[in-house]
Structure 1
Amino acid sequence: MKFKSLLVAALAFPVMVSCQSSNKKVGKVILKSDTDSLSYALGVNISSSFKNANFKEINFKAVARAIQDVYSDDSAQVKMTNEEAMNVIRTYFDRQQKKLAEENRIASEKFLEENKTKEGVIVDSSGLQYKIIEEGTGPMPTAEDVVKVHYKGTLIDGTQFDSSYDRGEPAQFKLNQVIKGWTIGLQKMKVGSKFILYIPSDLAYGETVRPGGPIGPNQALIFEVELLDIVKDTSNNK
């Protein structure tokens, strides 16, 4: 798990950092020896892990003290066991995740409430919203069909997180093996159509998202989708 790897990284390496407070930068470091370079490199590695984990506040003095205490080989100096440290980190991540999920839920609901009143937006009974950009003339897929599509996915603030256009080739998948918003939305499209799908979180990924990924918990998603073709399924799943 991510917090476990962070804990191991933080406690495993002898990076000697000193600073007067959590928000005061240390002076310029001069790397005079291999040991200095190694120590600095390990600090870069650990700090990158902290940054990628999106820690909002870190007391670097406490980090340095913990590293020194562990390396002192004096167990009395260490203020918590590895298990206790794991629990602290786990609690932090759980709290941050719940806070982010609630913020995203409120923002997504507000967006969808406003979006449904816009011209051309259709609201399905499932809660899915969609807008027809271009109506095709081909057949419509069922949930069991394999479809070929071009698409672009964005968050409600316009941040793009995925695009088959950027990859230079369309995507192909069985319609009942993707998020519910896609399964519902693409069954409303004829081949040759282009829709914009506004997908509520409960029809997308909900609270279960990849840690550190571009999509947060409880985020509504927007997809611009072109249905290019319905492809014969050659697998044994049908």
Structure 2
Amino acid sequence: MKKLIFALGAAAMLVGTATSCGGNSSSKLSPEEQALNDSLTTAWGYVAGGQAAQMLQAAPAGVKVDKEAFLRGVQTAILADTADQSYLQGLSMGVRLAQQRAYAMKELGMNVDAAQWMAEFKKALLADSLPQMDAMQQQFQNCAQRAEQTAQERKNAEKENSPESQANIKAGEEYMAGLMKTDPAIKKSETGLYYKIEKEGEGEAIGDNTPLLVNYTGRFTDGKEFDSSKGNPARFMARGVVPGFGEGLKMLKKGGKATLYIPGKLGYGVNGQPAAGIGPNQMLVFDVEIVDVNPQN
């Protein structure tokens, strides 16, 4: 990709050079210069095509690239009149804006009407003054933020209702229902966190921003361990961990020990942590011990 960008940069440089010199027609070139010109054209075109092919081959899995459509786009640009710099600048901006429109339609689910968009673009471009520019800029930013938020909420809802997510939620609920029948020491907070305090500890209360040293072991409901401080206390604050873990830490004091049963909504949520083998909305179990509060070292 870097090489391709360099090639495109070289193209812009050459076009700029030709334009600044008033443009060189092949009839003004000496035989030696014409030979160099032909060699450059052949080699440059081939190398740029090869680099484009490599770029397309490196497309993410599942993304199908239509080479014929890609070729039409390149051809439209490369066959443009290089002497008309205003047209080239407009073409360049149009490509960038078209990519932004494609993102808005695909990723944000917005229906951006091209004709309506173009009418407003033309109105602003040809206006003698732009008294509404600041207000429209703010409106655009507000709309874009809402669109992104709406898109994220939609994606989260889809993940929430996925078969894997729903299965994990059900498995966690059944697991806790069984445990609480046999162990009355397990409690449930208003947020939905399940916890069993073995030892509350002593000293000052723990807040969101209180520095802590904590020994912990994280495991799945089947007992398989996925993370551990391994006897080397981890240093963090309650606000820097997943909500359920932070809530449980604040129930303890120095020397305190507890087991936290964290449902997915208070853990890694609908995204899970694939690298650690944690699925969407999967319940996790943590054994924690507060080694120190406000440690000096």
User: What's the TM-score, normalizing by structure 1?
Assistant: 0.54
User: 1:181 is matched with which residue?
Assistant: 244
User: 2:263 is matched with which residue?
Assistant: 200
Q: Which amino acid is the alignment partner of residue 193 of structure 2?
A: L
User: 1:80 is matched with which residue?
Assistant: none
Highest RCO, 1 vs 2 (Cα 8 Å, sep ≥ 6) = 1
Match of 1:116, SS state, is helix
1:217 corresponds, among 263, 280, 286, to 280
Match of 2:276, SS state, is coil
Q: Map 1:100-119 to 2 at 5 A.
A: 100-117=164-181, 118-119=183-184
Contact 2:213 2:295 in 1 (8 A): no
Task: Give the number of the structure whose alpha-carbon radius of gyration is greater.
Answer: 2
Give aligned-pair identity as a percent: 34
Contact 1:143 1:176 in 2 (8 A): yes
Over 3 Å counting, the alpha-carbon distance change for 1:200 and 1:233 in structure 2 is farther
Match of 1:207, SS state, is helix
CA distance in 1, matches of 2:171, 2:60: 31
User: 1:4 is matched with which residue?
Assistant: 60
Confirm or deny that 1:164 pairs with 2:229: yes
CA distance in 2, matches of 1:104, 1:152: 21
Q: Over aligned residue pairs, what C-alpha RMSD do you find? A: 2.7
Match of 1:157, SS state, is coil
Could you tell which deviates more after superposition, 203-212 or 154-163? 203-212
CA distance in 2, matches of 1:192, 1:232: 13
Over 3 Å counting, the alpha-carbon distance change for 1:212 and 1:4 in structure 2 is farther
Runs of 4+ in 1 over 6 A off after TM superposition: none
Could you tell which deviates more after superposition, 206-215 or 184-193? 206-215
- Which one has a larger percent strand, Structure 1 or Structure 2? 1
CA distance in 2, matches of 1:148, 1:169: 9
Q: Aligned residue pairs: how many? A: 144
CA distance in 1, matches of 2:226, 2:233: 16
User: 1:99 is matched with which residue?
Assistant: 163
Over 3 Å counting, the alpha-carbon distance change for 1:191 and 1:6 in structure 2 is farther
Contact 1:198 1:223 in 2 (8 A): yes
CA distance in 1, matches of 2:177, 2:229: 28
Deviation of 1:179 (Å)? 0.5
Match of 2:274, SS state, is coil
Contact 2:262 2:283 in 1 (8 A): yes
Contact 1:200 1:221 in 2 (8 A): yes
User: What's the TM-score, normalizing by structure 2?
Assistant: 0.44
CA distance in 2, matches of 1:103, 1:4: 29
CA distance in 2, matches of 1:5, 1:151: 38
- Which one has a larger percent helix, Structure 1 or Structure 2? 2
Give the unaligned 5+ runs of structure 2: 1-58, 65-157
User: 1:84 is matched with which residue?
Assistant: none
The superposition leaves residues 145-196 of structure 1 with CA deviations (integer Å, 9 ceiling, x where unpaired) of: 121100000111111100112xx41111121111001111111101101100
Over 3 Å counting, the alpha-carbon distance change for 1:6 and 1:153 in structure 2 is farther
Deviation of 1:233 (Å)? 9.4
Q: Which amino acid is the alignment partner of residue 280 of structure 2?
A: P
CA distance in 2, matches of 1:232, 1:101: 39
Over 3 Å counting, the alpha-carbon distance change for 1:6 and 1:228 in structure 2 is farther
Match of 1:4, SS state, is coil
CA distance in 1, matches of 2:227, 2:204: 26
CA distance in 1, matches of 2:283, 2:236: 22
Q: Map 1:31-50 to 2 at 5 A.
A: none
